[in-house]
Amino acid sequence: MQRKGSAMALQWTPTWEEVVVESHGIRLRVKRDKETKLLACPICGEGDNAIYFFSVEDLIRHILSHTKRIERHQVFVPTKPIEEEGEEEYEEE
């Protein structure tokens, strides 16, 4: 694998596809790169300011931090109350 060019440039050409991800009852329509499976923040966009996430959890946490500032935009839609069901990210012995 050869790396050339500036450090700012992407090392691959993203092929974005629109997918719907769901976690903790929150549904999001986001762009995902077919190659790397990286998720792009729909608010930050796909340009130079783009931020990519490997996991839905991280993406949602990031987007929730956006919504505190731009609550007018309906970027997420809670489909059910957050309870102790569904995916659990905490494991106890």
Binding site for Zn ion (CB under 5 A): 41, 43-44
Per-residue DSSP letter, 55: S
| Cα–Cα distance, 67 to 78 (Å, whole number) | 13
| Nearest approach, Cβ of residue 44 and Zn ion (Å) | 3
| Nearest approach, Cβ of residue 57 and Zn ion (Å) | 15
| Nearest approach, Cβ of residue 2 and Zn ion (Å) | 31
Contacts of 21 (CB under 8 A, 6+ apart): 27, 28, 30, 39, 56, 59
Nearer Cβ to Zn ion (70/77): 70
Nearer Cβ to Zn ion (19/43): 43
Nearer Cβ to Zn ion (10/85): 10
Torsion angle of the four alpha carbons 74, 79, 85, 88, in this order, in degrees rounded to the nearest 10: -30
